[in-house]
Amino acid sequence: MNIIILGCGRVGSTFARLMYRDGHSVTIIDLQSEAFRRLGVKYKGARIVGNGIDEDVLKRAGIEHADVFIAVTQGDNRNIMASQIAKNVFDVPKVIARIYDPIRADRYRQLGLTTLCTTTIASGLLRDFVSTDQWGIAKDYSQEYLALNV
């Protein structure tokens, strides 16, 4: 599969290494070239320095032929905008945005984006472990979170 990853932080770089190791064609984008250090020496996929909400940069990354687009920069809004470009302008079949804010993650999911809210996933797992002494399965806790309205 052709996979584009926006944001070469811990999650982006780790995911890039995993998918590259599995034999996929991976392109990773970050604003700063220093971020690519996190990729290590085994990753031989493409690296692009640029702004992920700029259509020219996304085209350079090959978004017109991408099967998967993952937005995992530090900025929720940047991830939201880039994902909407990937989905609505370039018709990428599988688009996922990491969104820290649980409310935004829920609302954009209702709008049709696939969102990953690591805030509610981590806090849900922690709550399960603290109260039962067992790790729950890593599921998405955002609906529960919203229902609890904490």
Task: Examine residue 143 and tell whether it contacts another protein (CB under 8 A).
Answer: no
Judged by DSSP in three states, 93 sits in coil
Figure out which of the listed residues 1, 18, 111, 126 binds another protein, where binding follows CB under 8 A: 111
The residues that bridge with 18 in the sheet, in sequence order, are none
Q: Which of 46, 81, 121, 146 binds another protein (CB under 8 A)?
A: 81
- Provide the minimum distance between the beta carbon of 11 and another protein in the complex, in angstroms, as a whole number: 19
Q: How many residues does the chain have?
A: 150
CA–CA separation, 119 and 78 (whole Å): 17
Pairwise CA distance, residues 86 & 93, whole Å: 9
Binding site for another protein (CB under 8 A): 53-55, 75-78, 80-82, 84-85, 88-89, 101, 103-104, 107, 110-111
